[in-house]
Structure 1
Amino acid sequence: MGRHSSTPADELSVDWRSDRVGSARRGENPMVMAKVPSGYVVFGDTQQLPGYCVLLSDVDDTDHLTDLTGAQRTQFLEDMALLGDAVFAVCGGRDPAFRRLNYEILGNSLHHLHAHVHARYAWEPAEFRKGPVWRYAYEDRFAEQHDPLSSPEAEELDELRTAITAELHRLLKQR
């Protein structure tokens, strides 16, 4: 999806961020990596911590995990864990400084159920290693250099995204 993508840049300027799930359903969300039983796996809007991904629920009007039925909740959490397995395998195999994953279901900004999967690294500044990624300044997290669509590292981030997507599909086939 980076600069070598075949999608014209002007098509990516449409604000898919205002309706992330709807744009995923319509095939218009450029960050979608895969459709899983409970929703859509998307590459994070920022790759300050390479490998950041999000699972978006595909159940309408779902704001909280408790809005799902028991079976839907189980599926969502299984899909979140599967996404984590894919990120763990790829990021752990690519960067020897990879340390762990953080899983979060927040909903404070986007009022639609979604789960964050953050890769964490030993190269992070010491003051940020022990807390949630939200402790990083917004300006730093969303700096142009971390944008997976337009940063100078967009092609490298595409390779990471492709690898995580391939691993996710491999794991889905094993279910």
Structure 2
Amino acid sequence: MGRHAQSSGDDLLLTDWRSDRLGAARRGDNPLVMAKLNSGYAVFGDTQHLPGYCVLLSDVDGADHLTDLTRAQRTDFLNDMGLLGEAVFAACNGFDPAFRRLNYEILGNSLHQLHAHIHPRYSWEAREFRDGPVWRYPNEVRLSEENDTLVSPRAEEFDQLREAITAELARLA
């Protein structure tokens, strides 16, 4: 049952780490952190509507935009984004034969802490979603309990994918 069996006390922990993702990663309280990289934290996504979805959280205080970083920090962040993508690519390629490609995004419209999204894309996606940005998926799909990394009936399957990505990150680093 592992970390997926939540007691009432653990529910508060889930709320707390999600409200301060970077602080929780730094404290070791974010259960989805896979690795500390040069520029930040490689994190398995809370939602797995596209299995293998990951985020790179910048570890630079106050960085909201890529241009808030020095050129050296920017290089580290973009290199780490590529490293995380390489790990996701390798793991997803072995996880699902329908894996097609990766989409990389740095948005910052909602969370004002620099972060990058790595979205695996699959041939089983419906055409209206497959050929556009992942944000076309409705919240009912993206944020459903079925796709929640920690409480989904597929949580153990998601754990295996997270562990494969973590192992790839260790191998590549």
**What range is the shorter-chain TM-score in?**
over 0.9
Counterpart residue type for residue 32 of structure 1: V
- When the two structures are superposed, what TM-score results if normalisation uses the length of structure 1? 0.93
1:30 aligned onto 2:28? no
Instruction: Check whether the contact 2:4–2:151 (CA below 8 A) recurs between aligned residues.
Output: no
Counting aligned pairs with the same residue, the percent is 69
Tell me, which stretches of 5 or more residues in structure 1 are unaligned?
A: none
Alignment match, 1:129: 130
Q: RMSD over aligned Cα, in angstroms?
A: 1.3
Q: Report Cα offsets for 1:25-52 as digits up to 9, x if no partner.
A: 0011111110000000100010000000
Say which structure, 1 or 2, has more relative contact order (CA 8 Å, 6+ apart). 1
SS of residue matched to 1:5: helix
Unaligned runs of 5+ in 2: none
Instruction: Report the CA distance shift for 1:6/1:132 in structure 2 as closer, same or farther (over 3 A).
Output: closer
The alpha carbon displacement at 1:11 in A equals: 2.8
Partner Cα separation in structure 1 for residue 83 and residue 5 of structure 2: 28
Q: TM-score, normalised by structure 2?
A: 0.94
* Counterpart AA for 1:35: K
The answer on 1:5 being equivalent to 2:6 is no
- Partners in 2 of 1:114 and 1:124 — Cα distance? 25
- The whole-number CA distance in structure 1 between the counterparts of 2:165 and 2:148 is 17
Q: Is the 8 A contact 2:4 2:150 kept in 1?
A: no
AA matched with 2:74: R
The 8 Å contact of residues 52 and 88 in structure 2, kept in 1 or not, is answered as: yes
Number of equivalent positions: 170
Aligned to 1:30, what secondary structure does the other structure show? coil
Deviation for aligned residue 1:112: 0.3
